Amino acid sequence: MREEIFLPTTYASGVPYETFRTLRAEAPVCRIPEPAVGAWPAGPGYWGVFRHADVKHVLRTPEVFSSHLGATQIRDPDTPEDLEFVRAMMLNQDPPDHSRLRRIVASAFTPRAIRALEATIEDRARTLIASARGDVDFVEVAADLPVWTLAHIMGVPSSDRRLLYDWASRVIGYQDAEYADLSSATADPLSPMARTALRQRPSTLLRPDGRPMNPRSKAALRDMFAYAHALADAKRDAPGDDIMSRMLTGGLSDAEFENMFFLFAVAGNETLRNGIPGGLLTLLDHPAQFALLRSDPSLLDSAIEETLRYWPPVMDFRRTATQDVKLGPASIRAGDKVVVYHASANRDETVFDSPDTFDITRTPNDHVSFGFGPHFCLGAHLARVQMRAIFRELLPLTITPTGPPVRLASNFQNGLKHLPVHLTPTR
């Protein structure tokens, strides 16, 4: 039972909520094995954390449960060089270094910038959904809004935005054969710097020893970092009114910039690309709640919070114990991996009444889908803006499923690869 929590193929069939429920009751902090997955070698195992209170405790105490020591993915980086590289990312740092980078990023999201973004995003969502009629794959439709928004705020030419989609797919979807080596961007519409960067893409994702290359390593993402540096040079020569320009003038080093580009391009993209289709599927699976929302659009904000609780885009995050510590019934040793399960915490019976019921009127709604503590998602507001914009445009439409949804094989992202639907205006 515990092994299924780790295996990516488990999630291709659905999140194992029944197993989470059992573990919350019987083994709320317990050892989870890391068997080999295909060509990926077995790992040492880790402590899984399943109750809401324990998840929050781990996330708010970086001095005990570090993001920096082993980074934040379950799988250990392959080499010391890979670990050193990912440690430079804000996501994988602890205070005070994390706090300094977070201030630089936060300073780029001024109230004026956020207000302007909201109107821009609403316009884009309106255009996007107005052009989507008939039989569509809603995953593909929804994917355009986060990559378009990212391109807009990062100052990436719109012609290059599909690269953001591909890079995120390769990093997040590496456990899924359909996404692991995805290359959907065509060269013709790309900017010259994008075409130059694409020539840096590694010809193989295998290491010299034949094992898979770490998808988050600098070697595996040579093309993305070549593009990031070309973009930084362009911003220095001609700064714009975009976040990347503002961060470059805010004190980021070259290494910090390339890691910030990585974070924006992947985390700012994939979360929404999973959360928006997941939210629509949840509404389609609960037609009475969808009808209630259509009849009372003032419930949209609470509906979005409930879809985030019910379909958390990110299912877990890893920390590393800095010291011997007791957590619930478990005695954790310094250096042990500790993985908190947001997907389990969001169904904790001690926090949420009828946690397996989808209720768009639920209040309060203390979900942890955007994390908790010092690493609470900086893009949470922007994510909610995009979800609200898309779902507002969907409410007047008749939406009919035309085939089964296809889930992503990933033990990290709660994703959909395909959601075939028919969209028509309601008469």
Mean pLDDT by 10 residues, the chain (427 residues): 93 97 97 92 96 98 97 92 89 92 76 80 95 95 92 89 90 86 84 91 79 83 91 86 78 77 84 93 98 98 98 97 96 98 98 98 97 92 93 96 96 95 86
What structural domains and CATH numbers belong to the chain? 2-425 (1.10.630.10)
CA 388 – CA 10 distance, rounded (Å): 30
Query: The whole model's pTM is what?
Result: 0.94
Phi and psi at 249, nearest 5°, equal -85, -5
CA 175 – CA 286 distance, rounded (Å): 30
With both helix axes pointing from N to C terminus, report the angle between 380-394 and 254-285 in degrees, rounded to the nearest 10: 40
Which pLDDT belongs to residue 427? 60
Which pLDDT belongs to residue 378? 85
Which pLDDT belongs to residue 40? 84
Q: Would you give the distance in Å from CA 194 to the centre of its chain? A: 24
CA 212 – CA 204 distance, rounded (Å): 9
Q: What is the DSSP letter of 32?
A: E
CA 385 – CA 301 distance, rounded (Å): 10
Which pLDDT belongs to residue 267? 80
Cα angle 159, 164, 169 (rounded to 5 degrees) comes to: 140
Which pLDDT belongs to residue 108? 66
Which pLDDT belongs to residue 69? 97
CA 167 – CA 94 distance, rounded (Å): 26
